Amino acid sequence: MAQTRAIVITGNGTNCEMEAAHACRMGGFDEVVIAHIAEILSGEVRLDDFHFLNLTGGFLDGDDLGSAKAQANRLKNAAVDGSGEKLVEQFNRFISAGKLILGVCNGFQLMVKMGMLPAFDGNYLNQSVTLTHNDCGRFQDRWCYLKVDAASASVFTKGISGGIYLPVRHGEGKFVCDSEATLERIEREHLAVFKYSDPEYDAATMEFPANPNGAQNGIAGICDPSGRLMGLMPHPEAFVHYTQHPRWTREQLPEEGDGLILYKNATEYVRKNLV
């Protein structure tokens, strides 16, 4: 059987590569590579050789120009040694080949600022939404209930009933659209996959701390119309085993954490469609 292959990009301030790779392995990927951006820019590692790209959490370039801004600039403008192409061309090829990209936290910020999400009309390099400073003005590490839109095209959330419980860990997670029209279209096309909600996953909330950042419509994560590209502020890789749950010593929990299903669905999709 052909190999399912996932890649996690690290370097310049990415921090969650280890647990993201672990989640990919637990989700079922045959091979998982953590590649430093230097190894990609030097041509040693090529995105073309993988099916699932993880842009994960951290503080790219210290978020010095706003979260992930400097990396978005780097990815758009940096050239790959010896190939004569810019790195962004590898990304474009990856997307047009129908492959999967998951952006988590800083990775979501990166996708949004590169324009890879929500990517209306197949335009993957046009920014129309952003993630900015939390309304509370501070970094927050806390767990949140996320209501999942069952009607979304996301390939990652298939089979989730109600929602999932995950930690957020960010200072710039407030989801904002450039216009009412953008927000309406995101809602209409069911691209707002995750919304901060009450513990029963009944309704999205704007109340702090359930909504930790003041995101518009409580949006915590979105996908592109194809459902193959998705980004979210909460950390699915941080809840793949029950011991990561903040109340595991007092609640009866299944062995697997809520976040694992995203990686299982990714494996499943790759197996069916890409190998």
Partner 1 sequence: MANRIEVALKAGVRDARGERIKREIEDFLHLAVDDVRTIDVYTVDAVLAPGLLEQAAAGPFSDPVIQVWSLDKPLATGFDYVVEVGFRPGVTDNVGRTAREAVSYLSGTPFADGEGVYYAVQYLLKGLLTADDVENIATGLLCNTLIQRYTVLSSQDFSQKGGFAAVAPKVQSGLKIEVKEVDLNVSDEELMRISREGVLALTLDEMQIIQSHYRDPRVLEERAKIGLGAKPTDVELECLAQTWSEHCKHKIFAGTVHYEDENGRKQEIKSLFKSFIQRTTKDVREKMGDKDFCLSVFKDNAGVIRFNDKHSLVFKVETHNSPSALDPYGGALTGIVGVNRDPFGTGQGSKLIFNTDVFCFADPFFKKPLPKRLLHPRRIYEGVVEGVEHGGNKSGIPTVNGSLVFDERFAGKPLVFCGTAGLMPAEVNGQPGHDKYIKPGDLIVMTGGRIGKDGIHGATFSSEELNENSPVTAVQIGDPITQKRMFDFLIRARDKGLYRFITDNGAGGLSSSIGEMAGECGGCRMDLAKAPLKYPGLNPWEILISEAQERMSLAVPPEKIDDFLAMATRFGVEASVLGEFTDNGVFHILYEDKTVAYLPMDFMHEGLPPMQLPAKWVPPLHEEPVCAEKLDYTEDLKQLLASLNICSKESVVRRYDHEVQGGSVVKPFCGVANDGPSDAAVVRPILESFEGVVTAHGICPRYSDIDTYHMTANAVDEALRNYVAVGGSLELVAGLDNFCWCDPVQSEKTPDGPYKMAQLVRSNQALYDVCMVYNLPLISGKDSMKNDFYDGTVKISIPPTLLFSVIGKIEDARKAVTMDVKRPGDFVYLLGCTANELGGSEYLALKGFVGNKVPRVDAISAYARYQAYHQAVLQGLVASCHDLSDGGLAVAAAESAFAGGFGISLDLSRVPWQGLEDGWNDEALLFAESASRLLVTVRREHSEAFEAIMGDECCARIGVVTENPELLIEAIEGHNVINADLAELKQVWQSTLREL
User: Which residues contribute to the site for partner 1 (CB under 8 A)?
Assistant: 10-16, 18-19, 22-23, 36, 38-39, 42, 57-59, 61-66, 69-70, 72-74, 76-78, 113, 127-130, 132-143, 167, 169, 176-178, 214, 235, 237-238, 240, 243-244, 246-247, 249-250
Preceding omega of 236 cis (within 30 degrees of 0): no
The single residue of 170, 177, 235, 268 carrying the catalytic annotation is 235
In terms of Cβ atoms closer than 10 Å to its own Cβ (0-12, 13-18, 19+), residue 149 is buried
Least CB distance from residue 37 to partner 1, whole Å? 9
3-state secondary structure 46-105: CHHHCCEEEECCECHHHHECECCHHHHHHHHHCECCCCCCEHHHHHHHHHHCCCEEEEEC
The single residue of 24, 105, 144, 177 carrying the catalytic annotation is 105
Task: Assess whether 237 carries a catalytic annotation.
Answer: yes
The single residue of 17, 19, 237, 268 carrying the catalytic annotation is 237
Least CB distance from residue 164 to partner 1, whole Å? 16
Least CB distance from residue 57 to partner 1, whole Å? 7
Preceding omega of 118 cis (within 30 degrees of 0): yes
Task: Assess whether 105 carries a catalytic annotation.
Answer: yes
Task: Assess whether 133 carries a catalytic annotation.
Answer: no
Least CB distance from residue 162 to partner 1, whole Å? 20
Nearer to partner 1, 155 or 183 (CB): 183
Nearer to partner 1, 96 or 179 (CB): 179
> Could you give the C-alpha distances from 111 to 39, 82, 103, 124, 204, in angstroms and in order?
20, 26, 7, 9, 23
Q: Are 107 and 55 a contacting pair, CB within 8 Å?
A: yes
What positions carry a catalytic annotation? 105, 235, 237
